[in-house]
Homo-oligomer: A and B are copies of this chain.
Amino acid sequence: MAARKRASAKPIPPPTPETTTTQIDPPIAPPKKALIFIFCLLFSIPYFYLLYLHYKIEQDLRRSILINAALCVAGFFLTQRMIPVASRYVSKRGLFGFDINKKGTPQGDVKVPESLGIVVGIVFLVLAILFQYFNFTSDSNWLVEYNAALASICFMILLGFVDDVLDVPWRVKLVLPSIAALPLLMAYAGHTTIIIPKPLVSYVGQEVLDLGWMYKLYMGLLAVFCTNSINIHAGLNGLEVGQTVVIASAIVIHNLMQIGASSDPEYKQAHAFSIYLVQPLLATSLALLSYNWYPSSVFVGDTYTYFAGMTMAVVGILGHYSETLLIFFLPQVLNFLLSLPQLSGYVKCPRHRLPRFNPETGLLTGTRDGTLINFYLRIVGPKSEKALCIHLLFVQALGCCFCFMLRYFLAGWYK
């Protein structure tokens, strides 16, 4: 849930012609380019190492991946250009919020434009659609899944934006991702079997278990989980986009490793498919992060968290690595488990479950609410918002590294 006080109850007074010039909202702060540049430098090291040196990946496949990456670079700059433009339009329409974690300081009175996820979503869709033209290794089956993925992600962006504008009740919010996942479930023509981990084979009695319609149910639930779990692990400047950037980077590394290490062409295709959708997610999210990082110039809205969650669920499903995806989502899983008592109503659930902000010290203190943010703060003590966000993103990255190590050690023994 976005931790921004919705300003819709108090609409802005209409600008009269004489006062218009003095009441134009100031433009948003410039993007934090240095942060993004440092990340890109860091990330490109494992990326190009895996793509060129460590593995021998076919020319065609490598070229497709790089063309996709080039498209994504263009998408990054396009998103960065469009965000300030869109901010003026969303602000004018009353889609803005006040930063609760700065309440009591002058910044707490600044109107921050909301729902900038719509820019990210639209640029992502354009990139993903255009890429079809460049993909060399396409066949009929791949195109069905790709278009179904686009339809699902597009539907999710639509429903997310409708939610941001109309503020739908939370019970409806839970159902939205299942509806948006329908194109995917309908078009999914892959295996509905799972491979039983070797130690459990004796208990189950089979090596491979066909789940049939239950697998499709699992896919639908995965979509609901990914979207909503990002939505509730939120509330700090840069946390929603930051966690997506970390997980997306891990997904890209994972895809490259699987493409490089495998010899099964269908398996490689599945992971290539995933990369073609995650790279645009990563690039456009980085552009949004350059504005959303502390201190936030724009807020992302449910549009972004739903879009990001759905995209990752889609690639996890169609790339056939959803268990790996769930381990990347470990902090989100933890946060969900911690939140269960309050979300189920067993414990009283306030409107916002954010840490308590002290305007004098500028530090956040953990409350007794069941979120990972509060839990972490109660362990390490009061922190500033920026430091806390960095800590949590580091925890996210640690979770991803843990996943890689787990796969490394269990490979062969596990599957």
Contact = CB atoms under 8 A, between A and B. Distances in A.
Interface of A: 8-12, 14-15, 86, 89-90, 92-95, 118, 121-122, 125-126, 129-130, 132-133, 140-141, 143-144, 147-148, 150-151, 154-155, 157-159, 161-162, 165-168, 179, 182-183, 186-187
B14 A14 contact: no
A126 B179 contact: yes
A9 B168 CA distance: 24
A162 B159 contact: no
Contacts of A165: 93, 95, 161, 165
A183 B129 contact: yes
Contacts of A168: 89
A158 B154 contact: yes
Contacts of A125: 155
B11 A89 contact: no
A186 B294 CA distance: 39
Contacts of A93: 8, 94, 165-167
A161 B86 CA distance: 14
A148 B265 CA distance: 25
A144 B150 contact: no
Nearest to A11: B11
Nearest to A118: B162
A133 B166 CA distance: 31
Contacts of A14: 9-11
Contacts of A89: 166-168
Q: 9 smallest A-B Cβ distances: which pairs?
A: A11-B11, A147-B147, A89-B166, A151-B151, A154-B154, A132-B186, A158-B158, A129-B182, A150-B151
Contacts of A132: 186-187
Contacts of A126: 179, 182
24 contacts: A10-B14, A11-B14, A11-B94, A89-B167, A89-B168, A92-B166, A92-B167, A93-B165, A93-B167, A121-B158, A122-B158, A122-B162, A126-B179, A129-B182, A130-B186, A132-B186, A132-B187, A133-B186, A140-B144, A144-B147, A147-B151, A147-B183, A154-B155, A165-B165
Contact of A144 (B12, B133, B143): B143
**Residue from A92, A130, A162 having most chain B Cβ neighbours under 10 A:** A162
Contacts of A158: 121-122, 154, 157-158, 161
Nearest to A10: B14
Contacts of A183: 129, 147, 150
Nearest to A179: B126
A183 B147 CA distance: 8
Contacts of A161: 158, 161-162, 165
A280 to B, nearest CB: 14
Contacts of A141: 140
A151 B9 CA distance: 35
Nearest to A158: B158
Nearest to A95: B165
Contacts of A86: 166
A175 to B, nearest CB: 11
A164 to B, nearest CB: 9
A337 to B, nearest CB: 32
A10 B129 CA distance: 39
A111 to B, nearest CB: 14
Contacts of A15: 9
A8 B385 CA distance: 35
A187 B147 contact: yes
Contacts of A129: 151, 182-183, 186
